[in-house]
Amino acid sequence: MKLQNVTGFLPDSPISIVRLPGVPEPGPGNAALFAAARNVAASRAFVAGPGATATALWAMRAGAAVTYWTENAAEGQSLAASLAHNRLPAAQCFVQADFAGLEPATCDAAFLHLPRGREMREEALRLAAAMLRPAGRLGFVGATREGVKSALQQAQMIFGQAGIVVRKGGYHAGLAHRPDGDFPFPAIHRTERDIVVDGVPTRLVGYAGAFAHDRLDDGAAALIAGMQIPAGARVLDLGCGTGLVGLAALRRGAHVTMTDVSARAVLSAQETLAANGYPDVSVTHACGAATVETATFDIVVTNPPFHQGHGLHFETVQFFIEEATRVLKAGGKLYLVANAFLSYEPWLRAHFARVQQVWNDRRFRVWEGTK
């Protein structure tokens, strides 16, 4: 597993953070939340949201017992590795698609790094309300460009009163208190759609939080059009999302394995495959191809993410290229789709003997790398 040590700056002193590819480094969002909350006056704290590792460490170093929830395998593993590295007690860590096992109304404080998307932000705020005791305090932070103003309105709707108290570094951080009343765990939004994939009518089942959970992403459609999958090939769908690319490979006669860092994506892929007649395909919740043995696949297909928030971020792309090289047999092929304005060719040529474009249009390119 590819781990990196970075230094995070907590309010009292620096701390070493161990992170996996794609996990946000500590930054201005953490600083804004720390300034808003000022201290962790809690015996038990709930922490959640993308980039919350440093916040969980801050709460634990202040003496709080932490309950941490994420559906992202890399985030969960990064927190566990960081706690061990800093010789802090283990957190009560839930890395899963749903909220099974969480104990409601048990926390004095909750700290949220708000996810992107109105639906996901409301889910996170309702989850925090469910975890807090009456009068428990919520601290939340979101990027100015990612809808934090509407998040404040959502927090006011759920908590009654909420306000932004810190604006810095492109982030707004706010506070609220949990009122009396019943706050159940939020329902996870599930959708079903009839779409067409590779010319075949398809039932798509998706859960909020998975990428493109309610549609065939245009990049995935380009990858399906460009990938060349012979019958009988062993194929890995790396970062499978809702599983539509892997499903297209199955329909062409391949033996397919899928993996994704998102538990919501894994659940979406499993249900989509079952709805289309493939209930027994292996779909693994993991960072990259961590559960896959070296040199075991003929083909890897991938539509890697290249955003972190609104910015371009290519760490996961490079990691996926390295992972594909590792798991492919000699002569095996990688099919990778990228937006036309992104230049992945130098990274591909650094790892593959032969690299070429096999499909393109105005918006996308599909690259083939031969090991």
pTM of the model: 0.95
How far is 271 from 278, CA to CA, in rounded Å?
9
Dihedral of the CA atoms 258, 262, 265, 269 (nearest 10)?
Answer: 20
- Record the tokens describing residue 153, joined without a space: 């309105």
Is the CB of residue 30 less than 8 Å from the CB of residue 171? no
Closest Cα partner for 318 from 330, 300, 306? Answer: 306
Phi and psi dihedrals of 12, rounded to 5?
-95, -30
**Residues with Cβ < 8 Å from 129, sequence gap 6 or more?**
138, 158, 159, 178, 183
Contact 56, 91 (CB under 8 A): yes
Strand-pair partners of 354:
370
Tens of pLDDT along the chain (371 residues) come to 566 777 777 777 888 999 999 998 899 999 999 999 987 788 999 999 998 999 999 999 989 999 999 999 999 999 999 999 999 999 999 999 999 999 999 999 999 999 999 999 999 999 999 999 999 999 999 998 887 889 999 999 999 999 999 999 999 999 999 999 999 999 999 999 999 999 999 999 999 999 999 999 999 999 999 999 999 999 999 999 999 999 999 999 999 999 999 999 999 999 999 999 999 999 999 999 999 999 999 999 999 987 454 454 678 999 999 999 999 999 999 999 999 988 899 999 999 999 999 999 999 999 999 99
Residue 267, amino acid: L
Element (H, E) at 308: strand 307-308
Amino acid in the structure at residue 330: A
